[in-house]
Amino acid sequence: MGVPVVAGVLSGRKGVVAKLGMDAHWRGAIVVCNGLREAGMDVVYLGHTTPADLVAAVRRERPDLVGLSSLTGNHLQECRRLMSALDAEGLGDLRVVVGGTIPAEDRDTLLALGVDGIFGTGSRLDVIVDDVAALLGH
Amino acid sequence: MEQPAEDARIRSASGVPLPEVAVPGTAQRDPMDPAGGPDGGPDDRLGLPGGFPYTRGIRPGMYRERPWTIRQLAGFGTAQETNARYRMLLDGGATGINGVFDYPSLRAFDSDDPRAGADVGRGGVAVDLRGDFDTLFDGIPLDEVSVSLVSSQPIGAVPHLAMYVRSAERRGFAPARLAGTSQNDFLMETAITIAPEALPPAGSFRLACDLAEFALRTMPRWNPVSVSGYNYREAGADAVLEMALCLAHGQAVVRALLDRGFAAEPVLARVTFFLSAHSDFFEEVAKYRALRRMWAHWVRDELGVRDPRAQLLRYHVQTSGVTNSARHAHVNIARSALQGLAAVCGGTQSLHVNGYDEAVCIPSEHAALTALRTQYVLLHETGVAKVADPLGGSYLVEYLTDELEERARRVLERIGELGGIVAATERGWVHAELARTAFADQKAIENGERLVVGVNTQLDGDAEELDRFELPEGSLERQVAALERARSRRDREAAGVALKLVARACRDGENVMPAVLDAVDADVTLGELGRVFRDELGRWEFPLWQEC
């Protein structure tokens, strides 16, 4: 079982990945970084990021995708802060996905904030890669 | 707790008399005579429970002598809310406290720090001041109940212990009477739960040793370091890497304290471990047995210590959160029970069983009580507590025990070649190994090599919806308001002077604990202490993760 990740489907694309707030669980974020890299994406892992740091990183790296990770339940408050910081800087069009422990009832709120995709715990790497590729217009 | 009659405890459910420990030939000889292997003497790689090299356990009678400590993890919101949860668990049959702190508190940021934000009171209780510890342990007899402070990172562990000690003293409990544990693990700060502005490995390790030195001198019932293999495992390590990191770290702590002038025996009697119980039942049982044997040999053969009490590897176990699935959450009850069974078959001293909602939120009351009752199913119903090392002598378990020992030894040698655990962390080796094993594990799930119910097999049925535990309303606001009130009321000059003395101790290489104890008396906050530690010992920027 399992469909192998299509090699190179994200070649030429760049992503930045960050942890939200002080959440310590980096395992999923790093595993997803490696999965995206295997599909050809150039991925920069920022670690813990304040809204200001994220805006600076986006200006510096000019990514196609921002990936945010949270497993502590801080996702609504922290996403709100980050998305409004991106909007305020005119970066509201950037594609943003969120991964981690995201309860079903919070999905609509996140989508309304401008998040483009949500990957809960247990998401498969090949599914994440496919969805990101679709999101970026492959 | 009501004890069953002695007779009933030492017979199987259908009445077969059970020896304290079974050995080769038990069936042929008087089953009540524990002595002797097939040739009359115990196998020197196994020994008997309570005998070198302790493969079979640290005490002859194991749980007949003393059941494992039932120590359920708890912490959320404010000190008041968590105090109520501690009492609920103690009333429900918990025999120890396992107190976890929120992320800002673990990393020594105040609850009103801009970085703390939405993480205040999540995943643990928020603490800022000594007064929070007064509330947290209100009404709990600190000389009777052992308290594990899950202060994972030394930068937080040092102020937490100072606040705990000062708070206890005000309630009439002298430091010498306090029984418990500080987690205080520098790998937690620098590789496992990476914080913004973490200390560099050497600085974090130094604070951990300062705490340990203080506790060894003044708190004879306190375990000052709990080497957290559990968390290494959750971050991605396999059983072999968990073992090797534990041994390398435990050995480094012991050696550092010997360098500070301690005799080996009192140090060894107080360094403890915190291990995972993952899903591969037989491998986990073998892991605990192999670790005890490796530690005992290191103590005797490398340090030359003959005192049996100093040769024992003692540990707490938590069932593995990362193995739990959100999709069919109630299946986690079965998973955690089986993992808990592995822990007690392996001879743990203390156990936390996860709540079934672990993959979704911190435990609801119902999940916490179900987990607590699961421990009593293990203790009273399975029979596992009747006979020490019940799986000893199993061909499979002994094979795995030997094999894990050999594999962990090779990784331990590699860490030695890198210059020891602190240097291996500075070089990014620990991070790279964890990332590699975590990625390999995810791949094994995705290609079907490892089947996980509700994740890549048995996916039928809808995902279960749980009543998610929510933080009590207004928790964060109350914490921040109390913090601001305390800051405005304290003697500002005294607080400033106390902080300067902490900075000076950092710079001069003196033990920071005395200055930190004075500082918490002056209502210096956790975040203020954290800032001084960062300013004086440095901030580590983890360039390593770019490559992982």
What's phi and psi for B500, nearest 5 deg?
-60, -35
Contact by Cβ (8 Å): A68, A97:
yes
Q: Is B115 in Cβ contact with A21 (below 8 Å)?
A: yes
Note the pLDDT of residue B38: 46
Q: What pLDDT is recorded for position B548? A: 43
Which region holds residue A132: left if phi is over 0, alpha if psi is between -120 and 50, else beta?
alpha
Q: Which domain holds residue A127?
A: 32-37+104-133
Please name the amino acid found at residue B435. Answer: A
Apex B437 CA angle, B435 and B441, nearest 5:
115
Specify the residue for token string 């993952």: B278
Residue A132, SS3 per DSSP? helix
- CA-based nearest residue to B263, from B208, B310, B314, B223: B310
**Residues B131, B490: contact at Cβ < 8 Å?**
no
For residues B76 and B100, what is the distance between their CA atoms, to the nearest angstrom? 8
* R_g over Cα of chain A: 14
Write down the pLDDT at residue A5: 53
Look at A84-93, B94-103, B188-197, B316-325 and tell me which has the smallest mean pLDDT.
Answer: B188-197
ipTM metric = 0.88
> Is position A121 within any domain?
yes
How does pLDDT run across B517-545, given as a tens digit for each residue? 999 999 999 999 999 999 999 998 765 55
The pLDDT of B35-57, averaged and rounded, is: 77
Residue A47, pLDDT score: 86
Higher local confidence (pLDDT), B7 or B117? B117
| Local confidence band at B211 (pLDDT 50, 70, 90 cut-offs) | very high
Mean per-residue pLDDT, B482-495: 96
Q: pLDDT tier at B338 (50, 70, 90 boundaries)?
A: very high
pLDDT tens-digit series, residues A44-71:
998 888 888 899 999 999 999 999 999 8
Buried (b) or exposed (e) across B381-398, using 16+ Cβ within 10 A? ebebbbbbbbbbbeeebb
Residues of A within 8 A of B191 (CB-CB) are none
A23 interaction partners in chain B (CB closer than 8 Å): 103, 119
Q: Does some domain include residue A108?
A: yes
Give A122 or B164, the one with higher predicted confidence: B164
Considering only CB atoms, which chain B residues are within 8 Å of A81?
117
The verdict on residue A110 lying in a domain is yes
Point out the least confidently predicted range of A34-43, B4-13, B16-25, B123-132.
B4-13
Decide if A31 and B119 are in contact by the 8 Å CB cutoff: no
In a domain, A115, yes or no: yes
Q: Is residue A128 part of a domain?
A: yes
Cβ pair B438:A78 closer than 8 A: no
- B146 has a pLDDT exceeding 70: yes
Residue A3 has a pLDDT of: 47
In tens digits, chain A (138 residues) has pLDDT values of: 344 455 689 999 999 999 988 888 889 999 999 999 999 999 999 888 888 889 999 999 999 999 999 988 889 999 999 999 999 999 989 999 999 989 888 999 999 999 999 998 888 999 999 999 999 987
Q: What is the DSSP string of B190-253?
A: IIISPPTTBPPHHHHHHHHHHHHHHHHHH-TTEE-EEE-HHHHHHTT--HHHHHHHHHHHHHHH
Residues of A in contact with B545 (CB under 8 A): 26, 30, 45, 47
**Average pLDDT for residues B415-430, to the nearest whole number?**
96
pLDDT value of residue B44: 82
* Cα angle value B190/B204/B533 (rounded, 5°): 115
Average pLDDT over residues B468-491: 89
Task: Output the furthest CA–CA distance in chain A (Å, rounded).
Answer: 45
In the predicted model, is pLDDT for residue B194 greater than 90? no
Write the CB contacts of A124 (distance below 8 Å, at least 6 apart in sequence).
Answer: A2, B446
Is the CA virtual torsion B468, A32, B152, B269 positive or negative? positive
What is B64-446's CATH topology?
Answer: TIM Barrel (3.20.20)
B546 interfaces chain A, CB cutoff of 8 Å = yes
pLDDT cut 70: percent of chain B above it: 94
Lowest mean pLDDT among B96-100, B170-174, B463-467, B515-519: B463-467
Amino acid B36: pLDDT: 47
Question: Residue A6: its pLDDT value, please?
Answer: 58
Instruction: Read off the pLDDT of each residue in B131-152 and give the average, rounded to a whole number.
Output: 96
pLDDT at B541: 78
**CA angle B200-B205-B210, nearest 5°?**
130
Give the chain B residue whose CA is nearest to the CA of A74: B118
Per residue in B120-137, pLDDT tens?
998 899 999 999 999 999
Q: Tally Cβ neighbours within 10 Å of residue B278.
A: 21
B360–chain A Cβ distance below 8 A for any pair = yes
Tokens of A37: 């890299």
Instruction: Give the integer Cα–Cα distance in Å for A82 and B196.
Output: 17
Report whether pLDDT(B39) > 60. no
Distance, in Å, from the CA atom of A28 to the CA atom of A37, rounded to the nearest integer, reads 14
CA distance A28 to chain B (A): 8
Classify strands B271-277 and A65-70 as parallel, antiparallel or unpaired: unpaired
As a three-state string, the secondary structure of B12-68 is CCCCCECCCECCCCCCCCCCCCCCCCCCCCCCCCCCCCCCCCCCCCCCCCHHHCCCC
| Residue B118's pLDDT band (cuts 50, 70, 90) | confident
How many distinct structural domains can be found in chain A?
Answer: 1
Q: What is the pLDDT of residue B37?
A: 45
The pLDDT score that the predictor gives to residue B2 is 46
Q: Write out pLDDT tens, residues B236-246.
A: 999 999 999 99
- Strands (E) located in B329-405: 350-352
Q: What is the mean pLDDT of residues B397-416?
A: 98
Contact B446 A121 (CB under 8 A): no
Does the structure show a pLDDT above 90 at B296? yes
Question: In the predicted model, what is the mean pLDDT of residues B477-497?
Answer: 95
* Residue A97 within a domain: no
Which amino acid is present at A118?
A: I
Residue B107 near residue B153, CB atoms below 8 Å: yes
Put simply, the answer to whether B109 touches A34 (Cβ < 8 Å) is no
Quote the mean pLDDT of chain B.
92
Residue intervals of chain B classified under CATH 3.20.20.240 are: 64-446
CA separation for the pair B314, B336 (Å, rounded) = 21
- Could you write out the DSSP letters of every residue in B144-165? TSEEEEE--SHHHHHHHHHHHH
Edge to edge, what strands does the sheet with A42-49 contain? Answer: A42-49, A14-20, A65-70, A95-100, A117-120
Contacts A27 to B, Cβ<8 Å: 234-236, 322, 434, 438
d(C-alpha B273, C-alpha B294), whole Å? 13
Category of B140 on φ-ψ map: left (φ > 0), alpha (ψ -120 to 50) or beta: beta
**Lookup: tokens for B444:** 């094994």
